[in-house]
Each structure stands twice: as C-alpha cells, then as structure tokens.
Amino acid sequence: MSENIISIKNLNITYQSYGRTNVAVRDFDMTIKRGEIVSLVGESGAGKSTVGKSIMGLIDPPGKVSGEILFNEKNLVNMSESKKNRYRWKKISMIFQASLNSLNPTGTIFSDFYSVFRDKLDIKDKKIVNQKIDLLLDSVNLFHEIKKSFPHELSGGMKQRIMIALALSTEPELVIADEPTTALDVVTEYYVLSLLKEKIKALGISMLYITHDLPSVIFMADKIVVMEKGVIVEEGKVRDVITNPSNPYTKMLVQGLVF
Ligand SMILES: Nc1ncnc2c1ncn2[C@@H]1O[C@H](COP(=O)(O)OP(=O)(O)OP(=O)(O)O)[C@@H](O)[C@H]1O
Ligand SMILES: [Mg+2]
C-alpha cells in the first residue's frame, strides 16, 4: 500500500464560459500522505475549490479534467460515474465552501443526516441512524436534541459543526474541507477547527484543508501548497514555507501574520 492516499499528477482543468476556455488549474502535482493534513492556499480564483471538486469528481462537462488523481492508487480521472460513486462521500467527503447554507432549510437536522445514511450507505433503519447521529453529535460537542431543529434555529458555529459531523458520517479516508469556517468569528472558528483536527487525527483521516487564512494553516496543517492563477507557486512543510517564503503572495500572507 502506498504511503500516499492521494497522488495528483499533471492535473489540468478547464471550464468553458461564454464560449471561451478558461484554464483554472494547470500542471498541478500534489500528494497527501495517509493521516496528513495538507493546506491549499491562494488568492480568490486561484483554483483551490476546482482542485477539491476534481478529487470529488464534481467537475461537470463542459468542464474538462485531464491528468491523474490517484486515490489509493486508483485513477479517479476518466473513471465511470458508477465507479466514482463507490468513492464519492463513502471514501472521500467534502465540506463545501459556504456550506452553512447547504443544510436543507425545510427539513430538520435529522433529515440531513438521514439522507446521507440512506443514500450513501444504504442504511434506512431510523433507530440505527439515530444511534449513529448521536455518536456523531457527541463527537462535535452538540446535544442530541439538535436533531429536531431546523437550520434557521441554529448558530453558524452549530451548523458548521453539523457540516463536519455530516462529512465524517460515512467514515471517509479523505476529507476535503473548503474554507469550512469563513463565516465564523475567530473564537468560534478555532473551536470548530480544533474539533475538526481532533476528529481527523483520531480517526487517521487525511485532509485537504482549503483556506486563505494563514494562521489557521499553521494551526491545522502539516504541509502547505500555495496556488496562483491555477499553478502551484510554492509548497513545503508549513514551518519551512512560513519562515522562508519565496513567492510574493506567500510573503504577503506571512507579513499579514506580523501586522
Ligand atoms: N463552474 C464554473 N464554470 C466556469 N468557470 C468556473 C467555474 N468554477 C470556477 N470557475 C473559474 O475557475 C477559476 C478558479 O475558481 P475556483 O473557484 O477554483 O477558485 P478558488 O481558488 O476556490 O477561489 P475562492 O478563494 O474565491 O473560493 C476562476 O477563474 C473561476 O472563475
Ligand atoms: Mg473556492
């Protein structure tokens, strides 16, 4: 078994918009080792979410993906949808950017969990689902009764912890967290991130952590990959990169740590 859970080679991703081809990701290489947290950083539009979505197999035509995304040595690029569904959500899950709004507004929190268990894992027994939800809620320090709530009744921090519990509910091997805490105040942000990190590390899950926020990278990640306009401009161990940044954008981020 390879030490890498993900090994991306020569990934290129293009979108079509208004009849033009937009190269969102170019010649991208990245590996994530088992149990490792890799942070993907870069300015808005750099292509971070696009990389995350491509791992989940969520770049729809006319968008095009080429290159290799090896997950446990299986290439996810060009894999049939039915085969991809064996991985998507079950082995690889994603907390989407702006996911605070992705809970079903007209359903209870129970219904959000129930649809994951029913649709992704084929578990339909409500008693079993309830037991599983309670364990997941415990793990993100939420009380069990929250299952009966509707999203509008909950704070941002609560909803974000539910999103984390949902992403972990299928016991994936890799979680892609795309700016999972941007809507939260700093104290809540770090509370949620520490819960996420604790769970990830305890379960031996690997994570791609997408963010703009360098302090949180230092807190969360083992490795950092910096992107600019679709290409990697700098990468390395977090400590090495922030003590000796070479790229202008990375330097600016590091300066932001001081002021
Ligand atoms: N569905 C789409 N169709 C067409 N172009 C897209 C699509 N999604 C993203 N893009 C374009 O691809 C590029 C990369 O976008 P992406 O969302 O990956 O950036 P990002 O680094 O996640 O930015 P942000 O930090 O703002 O979330 C941008 O130029 C964006 O406009
Ligand atoms: Mg994004």
Nearest of 162, 160, 123 to residue 146 by alpha carbon: 162
- pLDDT at position 259 is 54
User: What is the predicted pLDDT for the residue at 86?
Assistant: 87
| Domains of the chain from N-terminus onward | 4-258 (3.40.50.300)
What pLDDT, on the 0 to 100 scale, is given for residue 258?
A: 60
97 within ligand 1 shell (Cβ under 6 A): yes
Identity of the amino acid at 114:
Y
How many Cβ atoms from other residues are within 10 Å of residue 57's Cβ? 20
Tell me the residue type at 208.
Answer: L
Distance CA 183, CA 196 (A): 16
* Nearest CA among 199, 188, 226, 195 for reference residue 38: 226
Q: Does any ligand 1 atom lie closer than 6 A to the CB of residue 50? A: yes
Q: Is 45 in the pocket of ligand 1 (CB under 6 A)?
A: yes
Its pTM stands at 0.94
Give CA–CA dist 186/99, Å, rounded. Answer: 18
**Using an 8 Å Cβ cutoff, are 84 and 120 in contact?**
no
Q: How far is the CA of 65 from the centre of ligand 1 (A)?
A: 14
Model pLDDT, residue 68: 97
Question: How high is the pLDDT of residue 257?
Answer: 76
Digitized pLDDT (tens) for each residue of the chain, 259 residues in all: 789 999 999 999 999 988 899 999 999 999 999 999 999 999 999 999 999 999 999 999 999 999 999 999 999 998 998 999 889 889 999 998 776 677 889 999 999 999 999 998 899 999 999 999 999 999 888 999 999 999 999 998 899 889 989 999 999 999 999 998 877 788 888 988 998 999 899 999 999 999 988 999 999 999 999 999 999 999 999 999 999 999 999 998 888 876 5
Candidate of 22, 26, 217 to mutate for ligand 1, largest count of ligand atoms within 8 Å of Cβ: 22
pLDDT for position 186: 86
State which ligand 1 atom lies nearest to the alpha carbon of 230.
14
Q: Tokens 């809970």 appear where?
A: 103
How far apart are the CA of 147 and the centre of ligand 2, in A?
Answer: 29
pLDDT, residue 202, reads 92
Helix axes 156-168, 126-139, angle to 10 degrees: 120
Ligand nearest to the backbone CA of 96: 2
Residue 113 pLDDT: 95
SS3 148: helix
17 lines ligand 1 (CB under 6 A): yes
